[in-house]
């Protein structure tokens, strides 16, 4: 799977993709992540990519030409399944969306800044608008990194234990059961006896029950869905 991320702050995206699972996925050749500097596609000497909003108002608006030049360059090289714009007014990211996107081949992600991007970019090029939650961040880079992380860990072969992604919270519509590791007792706080019992059937039943209980307590909305 290939991601092309278009941003004015490429260095902001160096670290998130250079560690752990995302790094391993790239080393294994399962995921390719390319970050493009939008300013490289600006035609003016100053390499500016924004301008004042028509109709007045505060803040700058990112212009269509540099985005169009970068997107069209990429599209001339290969076909893309989705062009995603990260924006707080998009659909809120959830596990279903991540699952669906993990089946795609090539994805472009646009990161906005300032007041946002010219509406015509959204109308003409963008196929999906995704928010990572009801709060406003300074730009789309961190949201883009989150979307890529949520997708890449689902691609078969990325996680060593493939059942691990399937047992994530949300994959079965429920939150995860509590987990423990050694020591079995710390300052009088004990790991539940059942987990030390070695009885797999009983442990699975306990985990199912805990998942349901946690979801009921913390996210009853998931049960209504």
Is residue 133 within the footprint of ligand ADE (CB under 6 A)? yes
Is residue 7 within the footprint of ligand ADE (CB under 6 A)? no
Contact in structure between 90 and 133 (CB atoms under 8 Å) = no
Contact in structure between 84 and 126 (CB atoms under 8 Å) = yes
* Eight-state DSSP code of residue 41: G
Min separation Cβ 210 and ligand ADE, Å:
31
Is residue 140 within the footprint of ligand ADE (CB under 6 A)? yes
Interface with ligand ADE in residues 143-202 (CB under 6 A)? 143
Is residue 87 within the footprint of ligand ADE (CB under 6 A)? yes
Long-range contacts of 146-149 (CB under 8 A, 24+ apart): 146/93, 147/84, 147/86, 147/93, 147/98, 147/101, 147/109, 148/3, 148/5, 148/16, 148/17, 148/22, 148/33, 148/109, 149/16, 149/21, 149/22
Give the C-alpha separation, 160 to 60, whole Å: 45
Of 110, 111, 93, 112, the closest CA to residue 151 belongs to 93
Closer Cβ to ligand ADE, 127 or 216, answer by number: 127
Is residue 16 within the footprint of ligand ADE (CB under 6 A)? no
Using the CB atoms, write b or e for 186-217: b if 16+ within 10 Å: eeeeebeeebeeeeeeebeebbeebbeebbee
Closer Cβ to ligand ADE, 10 or 140, answer by number: 140
Q: Using the rule CB under 6 A, give the single segment among 64-72, 83-91, 99-107, 162-170 that binds ligand ADE.
A: 83-91
How many residues touch ligand ADE under the rule CB under 6 A: the total is 11
Q: Using the rule CB under 6 A, give the single segment among 56-64, 125-133, 180-188, 213-221 that binds ligand ADE.
A: 125-133
Min separation Cβ 178 and ligand ADE, Å:
29
Binding mask 36-75 for ligand ADE (x = CB under 6 A): ----------------------------------------
Q: Which residues bind ligand ADE (CB under 6 A)?
A: 86-88, 131-133, 135-137, 140, 143
């Amino acid at each position: 799977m290939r991601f092309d991320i278009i941003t004015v702050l490429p260095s902001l995206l160096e670290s998130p993709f250079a560690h752990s699972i995302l790094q391993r996925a790239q080393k294994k050749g399962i995921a390719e992540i390319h970050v493009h500097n939008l300013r490289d596609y600006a035609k003016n000497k100053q390499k500016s990519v924004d301008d004042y909003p028509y109709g007045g108002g505060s803040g700058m608006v990112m212009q269509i030409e540099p985005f169009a030049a970068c997107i069209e360059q990429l599209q001339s090289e290969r076909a893309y399944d989705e062009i995603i714009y990260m924006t707080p007014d998009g659909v809120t990211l959830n596990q279903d969306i991540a699952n669906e996107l993990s089946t795609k081949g090539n994805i472009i992600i646009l990161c906005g800044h300032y007041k946002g991007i010219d509406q015509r970019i959204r109308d003409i090029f963008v196929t999906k608008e995704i928010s990572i939650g009801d709060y406003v961040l300074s730009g789309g880079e961190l949201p883009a990194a989150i979307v890529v992380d949520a997708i890449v860990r689902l691609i078969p072969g990325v996680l060593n234990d493939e059942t691990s992604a399937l047992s994530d919270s949300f994959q079965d519509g429920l939150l995860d059961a509590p987990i423990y590791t050694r020591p079995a007792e710390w300052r009088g706080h004990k790991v539940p006896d059942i987990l030390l019992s070695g009885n797999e059937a009983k442990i699975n039943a306990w985990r199912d029950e805990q998942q349901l209980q946690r979801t009921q307590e913390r996210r009853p909305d998931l049960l209504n869905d």
